[in-house]
A and B are shown apart, each in its own frame.
Chain A
Amino acid sequence: MEEIKIDRELDLKGEVCPFTFVKSKLILEQMEPGQILRVILDYKPSVENVPKSMREEGQEVLEVKQIGENLWEVIVRKVR
């Protein structure tokens, strides 16, 4: 898979719903359309719901991947 260029990274280890989505959304709002945000999560319910909420907001979820023991990354491109 082609290497994705990350514009910003947000480490949300230790955070739970709803802050995982709220903080991701706030960072995304500061970014330019087309830019890519990488979010690090260690809370399973958030791994299900952050991507779902991002899609519902019209953003493009590029990848959801487990990167370690109880650790996931969610990669989102800002669309609007």
Chain B
Amino acid sequence: MNLLIIMASNPYSHDFNTVVKLIEASLKRNHKTKIFFMANGEYCLLREEIKNLHEKGLEVYYCAHNAEQRKIKPESWAESSSMYGLAKLMTEADKVLIFD
């Protein structure tokens, strides 16, 4: 399965813990797992857990515009994207979950 998670909640919300556990479970079942950070979800890119999950196979995308607004400079392992990129990811996904 191709799972896409859209994360707009900040990294100190209960959503963040839910998302981390959900991704771990999804990767364990070898699902293609992608996450798109936007709005205050961009701050999650600064959390070590996301980098660790990326190293386990999570594909990480973020809205470059929202990152610029927040002066966040994500590391190169996260892919710069946009609303257009998000639309494309959504059409490719089997399931889309949004945390806002």
A residues whose Cβ falls under 8 Å from a Cβ of B: 16-18, 21, 43-46, 48-49, 52-53, 56
Contact = CB atoms under 8 A, between A and B. Distances in A.
B3 interface: no
Contacts of A53: 82, 84-85
A17 B80 contact: no
Interface of B: 63-65, 67-68, 80-85, 88
The prevalent SS among residues of B at the interface is helix
A27 B67 CA distance: 27
Nearest to B83: A18
A44 B83 CA distance: 15
Nearest to B88: A56
Contacts of B64: 17, 44-46, 48-49
Contacts of B81: 49, 52
The prevalent SS among residues of A at the interface is helix
Sorted nearest first, the 4 A-B pairs with minimum C-beta distance are: A45-B64, A17-B65, A18-B83, A49-B82
A48 B81 CA distance: 8
Contacts of A45: 64-65, 67-68, 80, 82
B80 A18 contact: no
Contacts of A17: 63-65, 82-83
Candidate in B63, B65, B67 with the most chain A CB atoms within 10 angstroms: B65
B84 A49 contact: yes
B46 to A, nearest CB: 18
Given A18-B83, A46-B64, 4 more contacts: A17-B64, A45-B80, A49-B80, A52-B81
